[in-house]
Amino acid sequence: AKVLVTGANGYIAMWVVRLLLEQGYTVRGTVRTADKGKYAAEYFAKLGFGPDKLELVVVSDIAKEGAFDEAVKDVDAIEHTASPFVPDIVDPQGYIKPAVQGTVGILQSALKHGPNVKRIVITSSCGSTSIKEVNEKGLDAMNMSKYRASKTLAEKAAWDLYEKNKANIGWELVVINPPFVFGAWYDAVVADSPKTQDFLYTTNSWVDVRDTAMGHVSAIQKQNAAGERIIVCGGAYSWQEWLDAANSIQPYPLPNHPPQKGLPGLSTSYLITYDTAKEQRILGIKYKTKEETTLATLEDFAVRGW
Ligand code: NDP
């Protein structure tokens, strides 16, 4: 079977592509320029997946009408991950337009030109699970808020389109909602200034990038994922716990940060936790622990240099 992965050079998408290829799928990946696809093509060729297994095509502007019309032809499933996730866009529409129009666009392309498509998976965000209303004019808003608005509006638009067309289409929609996807947290943990207690107390929820990718792949395989939005979440964290995990692992002790004991009472003071009961029932991901994610991250840095 052939799967279309949008934004195939992205952090999460590279793992989605890898798992798909390893499971025997062929993949068509979209990138914004041919240049951006070079690293991915070389990386996967080294793993033994040449152009016969992974075809990279250029979709330069996902917000343009009909952008995916060609790319959806002859694919059996779609993983739509492409969306702006960079911290420096000022105009909220810089996030919202590609997120919403890209999502609506790929569904419309599948409607018109994807007769073989059975499943479409959209990468949304845990951010979209808590926002009720979006004010699109917030130029002064924090960039994270603009980004979360874009994810919320994109997911909503996807469900609206799906509900309207459900009776006449051959595919089902699944939405995956991850919290912060790790691991690569070099700047947060290792950067040379000592971290303050305040910072170390900061908490949120996380999921390993490989588990996130597994959720995307399972979502095209499990029949009862159809029509569901599914949170994939490995658990809650404080930065102190990542430090402790890193320092418990040899031979990669971190510079400047001696092992510290966990903060007392922390397990009751996480600010954001998510219920994964639905995910466990439908997808059944075996989540990586903080130690496993940390080890993989540190090994990566050790191989590539700090
Ligand atoms: P990356 O920035 O690594 O990947 C994003 C991908 O989307 C890249 O291929 C990028 O292309 C493409 N993209 C970005 N902006 C545009 C645009 N305006 N038009 C077309 N393509 C664009 O991020 P992630 O892999 O982390 O994110 C992938 C998805 O996961 C996104 O939908 C994101 O919202 C979602 N997500 C991520 C989380 C995380 O913690 N990382 C948490 C929850 C959800 P290019 O390389 O050319 O810029």
Task: Compute, in angstroms, the gap from residue 64 CA to the centroid of ligand 1.
Answer: 17
The residues near 237 (Cβ < 8 Å, ≥ 6 apart) are 203, 204, 205, 206, 270, 290
Mutation choice for ligand 1 from 9, 12, 30, 210, CB with most ligand atoms inside 8 A: 12
pLDDT level of residue 292 (50, 70, 90 thresholds) = very high
Count CA within 13 A, CB hemisphere, residue 81: 26
Tokens of 134: 């979006």
Per-residue pLDDT at 192: 45
Q: Which of 50-59, 102-111, 194-203 has the lowest mean pLDDT?
A: 194-203
Identify which has the larger pLDDT, 68 or 268.
68
Compute the average pLDDT of residues 276-281.
Answer: 98
> What DSSP designation does 183 have?
S
pTM of the model: 0.94
**Residue corresponding to tokens 């716990």:** 241
Per-residue pLDDT at 278: 98
The pLDDT mean for the chain works out to 89
Task: Compute, in angstroms, the gap from residue 257 CA to the centroid of ligand 1.
Answer: 31
- Asked if the model's pLDDT at residue 259 lies above 80, the reply is no
pLDDT level of residue 184 (50, 70, 90 thresholds) = very low
Give percent of the chain with pLDDT exceeding 90: 69
In this structure, which amino acid lies at residue 166?
Answer: K
Instruction: Please state, in angstroms and rounded to a whole number, the distance separating the CA atoms of residues 306 and 304.
Output: 7
Identify which has the larger pLDDT, 34 or 201.
34
Instruction: Please state, in angstroms and rounded to a whole number, the distance separating the CA atoms of residues 157 and 44.
Output: 33
Which residues is 204 bridged to in the sheet? 237
Prediction ipTM score: 0.99
Instruction: Please state, in angstroms and rounded to a whole number, the distance separating the CA atoms of residues 105 and 91.
Output: 21
In this structure, which amino acid lies at residue 83?
Answer: S
Report whether 82 contacts 7 (CB < 8 A): yes
Query: If you count DSSP H runs as helices and E runs as strands, how many of each does the chain have, helices first?
Result: 11, 10
Task: Compute, in angstroms, the gap from residue 123 CA to the centroid of ligand 1.
Answer: 9
Atom 4 of ligand 1: nearest residue by CA position: 10
Q: Coil, helix or strand for 76?
A: coil
Task: Compute, in angstroms, the gap from residue 8 CA to the centroid of ligand 1.
Answer: 9
Per-residue pLDDT at 267: 54
Q: Which of 57-66, 70-79, 251-260 has the lowest mean pLDDT?
A: 251-260
Mutation choice for ligand 1 from 4, 85, 210, CB with most ligand atoms inside 8 A: 85
